[in-house]
Amino acid sequence: MNMPPAASDLNLCLCHSCSMTCDMTDNPHECERCGAPLHRRKTNSLARTWAFMFTALAFYVPANLLPVMNTKMLGNGADSTIMSGVLEFWAAGAWDIALIIFIASIAVPGIKFVALTFLLMSVHRSSLWASKERSQLYRFVEVIGYWSMLDVIVVALVAALVKFNALADIEPRAGILFFGLVVVFTMLAAMSFDPRLIWDEKRENPQNEEVMDEVASH
Amino acid sequence: MANTDQLIICEHCDCVYEKVTLVEHQKTLCTCCGAVLQRHNRLTVEQRLALTCAALMLWIFANVYPVMTISLKGIKNSATLWDSVLALSHGPITFIALVAAIAMIIAPIFQLLLLIWVLGFALSHQRSPGFKFCMRWLEALRPWSMLEVCFLGAMVAVIKLAGFLHVLPGIGLFALAVLSLVVIRIAGRDIRELWDIL
């Protein structure tokens, strides 16, 4: 494949804040137009992404195990976790709502962990395989990121509404805090990953690709 | 080498291209990684400012009026967005109330105020005082403004409660629905064009 010239080869750099093409001849530290810091690649991208992701992963466990809310009906309290909420909807026949909550709260963070780990590992291994698809995967991770906030908002609204003293009362529980932290940290992880790293190896060794293709075809 | 003003760099793979002029419904994609490089901007400064003012009104409606009202055995309860933030703030989980407040209320209002400030000056073809600062904050706030998630969350809450209570959607919910759509339209990445035209 014939690739267009790379910004780093032309001594140019993209400003992430205003999209300006900055000339790096004098090694400026800031974009001359908007003043945002300039870097050819995001600083410590891999280490930061791993760190944010492991933090999120650590919070993912209590987020799923601890109850997210407590429902009190006529004095009888019952805790519910995210998964038990999904199952309740499913059992009640509301499979569509069960699916929305399952996708937003359990599948999306799970997909993000798997996708980010895969992207990080492939960059570590200087993989040349399916660069375009890996770029698309990164964009997908960025897009789905914040939809996991859904459950936090549902719990907040429900807890604010159902306040009938002795009759019925819903309160948020610690699980929702951890859940919110998972969302925040996976978003930070996705933001600190630099998708240009996916292409760097290909640029450095353009002949490798043909070798790889030959190997693959045998 | 061409003037750097005429060049555009793909943010996902660092490829360099020359800018082209687009007509309606056109966009340019990176041949290397498939990312969108340029998209035609259909909103003029006047239109964007008008939509931002409308969004500000909607934001006020969404925050003043209850999102929904429920009733159980004759007792009625209603909650606004702020009430739901407060519901999270009790006990040791206060931090999540802050996150929710930023995502549902604070980030959107700052986006709208910054846009009105910047676009108001842009009408007379000048950069507002603190233009750099405002534009950088608009970039920083975008990922944390989650109105569309908030709207879907409210819808899920309506259905969740409708199972065992009488639920009445409020003005706040309708305002939230329209507001989330308008904000996607006006506060997207295309506001970066202001850098080029001012």
Mean pLDDT of B90-107: 91
* CA nearest neighbour of A173 among B82, B92, B100: B92
Judge if A77 and A177 occupy the same domain.
yes
Of B87, B126, B76, B83, which Cα lies nearest the Cα of B105?
Answer: B83
My answer on whether B157 and B168 are in the same domain is yes
Contacts of A171 (CB under 8 A, 6+ apart): A69, A70, A72, A159, B90
Per-residue pLDDT band for B97 (boundaries 50, 70, 90) equals very high
Cα A181 from Cα B99, distance rounded (Å): 9
What is the spatial distance between Cα A20 and Cα A55, in angstroms, rounded to a whole number?
33
Residue written as token pair 């519910």: A80
**CA nearest neighbour of A214 among A88, A98, A118, A128:** A128
For residues A177 and A148, state if they share a domain.
yes
- pLDDT at position B197 over 80: yes
pLDDT, residue A189, reads 94
Q: Which domain holds residue B2?
A: 1-40
Lowest mean pLDDT among A49-58, A110-119, B158-167: B158-167
Q: Residues of A with CB below 8 A from B84's CB?
A: 153, 156-157, 159-160
Q: How far apart are CA B156 and CA A154, in angstroms?
A: 7
Same domain for B79 and B18 = no
Instruction: Collect all residues with Cβ–Cβ distance below 8 Å to A74 and sequence separation of at least 6.
Output: A166, A167, A168
- As a whole number of angstroms, the distance between CA A97 and CA A198 comes to 37
Do B92 and B5 belong to one domain?
Answer: no
Domains held by chain B: number: 2
Segment A158-162 shows an average pLDDT of 90
pLDDT at position B109: 96
Query: Is the model's pLDDT at A167 over the cut of 70?
Result: yes
Question: What are the residues whose beta carbons fall under 8 Å from the beta carbon of B122, sequence distance 6 or more?
Answer: B45, B49, B128, B194, B197, B198
Q: Are residues A95 and A151 in the same domain?
A: yes
| Whole-structure pTM value | 0.89
Q: For residue A209, count CB atoms less than 10 angstroms from its CB and return exposed for 0-12, middle for 13-18, buried for 19 or more.
A: middle
Same domain assignment for residues A14 and A66 = no
Q: Looking at residue A165, what is its pLDDT?
A: 77
Q: For B100-140, what is each residue's pLDDT tens digit?
A: 999 999 999 999 999 999 999 999 999 999 999 999 999 99
Strand partners, A73: A76, A168
Q: Are residues A80 and A109 in the same domain?
A: yes
**Same domain membership, residue B109 and residue B70:** yes
The domain that holds A104 is classified in CATH as 1.20.140
Chain A residues within an 8 Å CB radius of B151: none
Of the candidates B16, B132, B150, the beta carbon closest to that of A7 is on B16
Chain segment A135-152, per-residue pLDDT in tens: 999 999 998 888 889 989
The confidence band for A18, taking pLDDT boundaries of 50, 70 and 90, is confident
CB contact under 8 A, B153 and A16: no
pLDDT value for B196: 85
Q: How confident is the model at residue A5 (pLDDT cuts 50, 70, 90)?
A: confident
Task: Give chain B's length.
Answer: 198
- Predicted pLDDT of residue A181: 94
Same domain membership, residue A35 and residue A109: no
Rounded to whole angstroms, the Cα distance separating A121 from A131 reads: 13
Residue B157 to residue A154, Cβ atoms within 8 A: yes
Is residue B163 within 8 A of residue A92, CB to CB? The reply is yes
pLDDT digits (tens, 9 = 90+) for B1-51: 457 788 899 989 888 998 888 888 889 999 888 899 888 888 889 999 999
pLDDT at A114 over 90: yes
Beta-carbon contacts of residue B64 (< 8 Å; ≥ 6 apart): B80, B172
A-chain residue closest to B13, CA distance: A196
Q: Are residues A32 and A124 in the same domain?
A: no
- Mean pLDDT, all residues of chain B: 90
Contact B88 A151 (CB under 8 A): no
Question: How far apart, in whole angstroms, are the C-alpha atoms of residue A171 and residue A158?
Answer: 8
Q: Say which residues have a Cβ less than 8 Å from residue A105's Cβ, sequence separation at least 6.
A: A82, A86, A148, A150, A151, A179
Task: Specify the pLDDT at position A88.
Answer: 85
Task: Give how many domains chain A has, as a whole number.
Answer: 2
Select from A144, A121, A141, A96 the least CA-distant residue to A198. Answer: A121
A61 & A117 share domain: yes
Task: Tell me the residue range of the domain where A20 lies.
Answer: 1-40
Q: Do A157 and B153 touch (CB under 8 A)?
A: yes
Q: Are residues A29 and A126 in the same domain?
A: no
* B59 plus B155 within the same structural domain: yes
Same-domain status, B116 and B178: yes
What is the reported pLDDT for A207?
Answer: 58
Q: Is the pLDDT of residue B189 over 80?
A: yes
Q: CA–CA separation, A23 vs B190, rounded Å?
A: 23
Nearest one of A140, A176, A14 to B100, comparing CA atoms: A176
**A174 and A208 together in one domain:** yes
Q: Are A193 and A116 in contact (CB under 8 A)?
A: yes
Q: ipTM value, please give it.
A: 0.90
* B125 and B71 within one domain: yes
pLDDT above 70: residue A96: yes
Residue A206 has pLDDT above 80, yes or no: no
- A9 shares a domain with A117: no
Same domain, yes or no: B101 and B158:
yes
